[in-house]
A and B are shown apart, each in its own frame.
Chain A
Amino acid sequence: MNDLDKIMPKLKKIKGNTGFKVPENYFNEFSLKIQELVSKTEKTGYYYSFGPKLRPRLAYALSFFLIIAFTITGYFLFRDNGTRNYTTEDLIEYIIFTDDDLRNTGLFNELNYNENNENTDEIIEYLVSENIDYSIILEEY
């Protein structure tokens, strides 16, 4: 007799019965189910179970993967839009292939080159006095 049954004789009535039951024919079907799982395991080398242990792990792994994927995608997306560096060659190419107005109003104004500018003559005089071939500069601009 169990210790508890000695202390509580009324428990002798249930004789260690838990009160749990299983669906009809459960154990016969259970062994067949295990056979199927075993053959799957043999074929694939592993066993996919969406049972209690794997379900949360799969969910965590999937969430983690998605977070990482979004982070990486976002990083490259924003990096391309915001921080792309142009080389000097890129800029020159851009100016050359852009229309004349832009060239005239943009870069040329910055260089302060104007045929009608009063300062232009002074500059040319200075270049002649210094024996500098200004035609090269003019060709450049």
Chain B
Amino acid sequence: MKETEIVEELLKPVMQEYSDNELIDLFKQGENSNYAFNLLVKKYQEKIYWHIRKIVINHEDTDDVAQNTFIKIYKNLNNFRKDSQLFTWIYRIATNEAISFIKSKKRRLFLPIVDVEKGLANKLTDDPYFDGDELNLKLQQAVLKLPQKQRLIFNMKYFDELKYKEIADILKTSTGALKASYHHAVKKIEKFMAED
């Protein structure tokens, strides 16, 4: 077992001990802020990584966006006022960072955002960090054809299995609008998957 894995194993019970609110309080106390933030990173890094990965697709880009997300969280955690849940706030930052990344890529390449996403879909087959079968590939290509907001909602609902209320808090929208978007997304994916 590697050293980092041993540390991970040792930290597991500690991480489970602290609730989000306790982690925030520990961070705000100042003395143990680095320790608290490290626990927070370990608690959320995988969820945040996969959430961003489904938006930007490529691993290296996801790594950059995830780093920026956690640095932003670190810088702003002292101002977090517990009006919303910590995980909702973190997801919102990650979503905004990922969307900004896609937009900046669009600006850099002078492409419409739809073409950027089409490019991502085409690159999937050559991606060394994609080992899905044909069904996975087809599903991802279908998801990448969705308009950006529908894609976000579909990913959070279908893959992350978040509740409508949670998605509404993250995207600051109504659950009614979300349900309609998700319904449209499912219909489009169904149609795409049926095509050969």
Question: CB within 8 A of A18: which of B66, B75, B108, B136?
Answer: B136
Interface positions of A from 64 to 89, Cβ below 8 Å from B: none
Q: What 6 pairs across the A-B complex have the smallest Cβ distances? A: A19-B132, A19-B136, A28-B4, A51-B64, A52-B101, A31-B41
At the interface, yes or no: B195 with Cβ under 8 Å from chain A?
Answer: no
Nearest opposing residue in chain B for A28, CB measure: B4
Number of inter-chain CB pairs below 8 Å: 126
- Chain B residues with a Cβ closer than 8 Å to the other chain, count: 55
At the interface, yes or no: A138 with Cβ under 8 Å from chain B?
Answer: no
At the interface, yes or no: A10 with Cβ under 8 Å from chain B?
Answer: yes
Chain A interface: which size bin? Answer: 35 or more
**A18 adjacent to B53 (CB under 8 Å):** yes
Interface positions of B from 128 to 185, Cβ below 8 Å from A: 129-133, 135-137, 139-140, 157-159, 161, 182-183
Which residues of B are at the interface with A, using a C-beta cutoff of 8 A? 2, 4-5, 7-8, 34, 37-38, 41-42, 45-46, 49-50, 53-54, 59, 61, 63-68, 70-71, 74-75, 97, 100-101, 104-105, 107-108, 129-133, 135-137, 139-140, 157-159, 161, 182-183, 186, 189-190, 193
Which residues of A are at the interface with B, using a C-beta cutoff of 8 A? 2-4, 7-8, 10-11, 13-14, 16-23, 25, 27-35, 37-39, 41, 47, 49, 51-53, 56-57
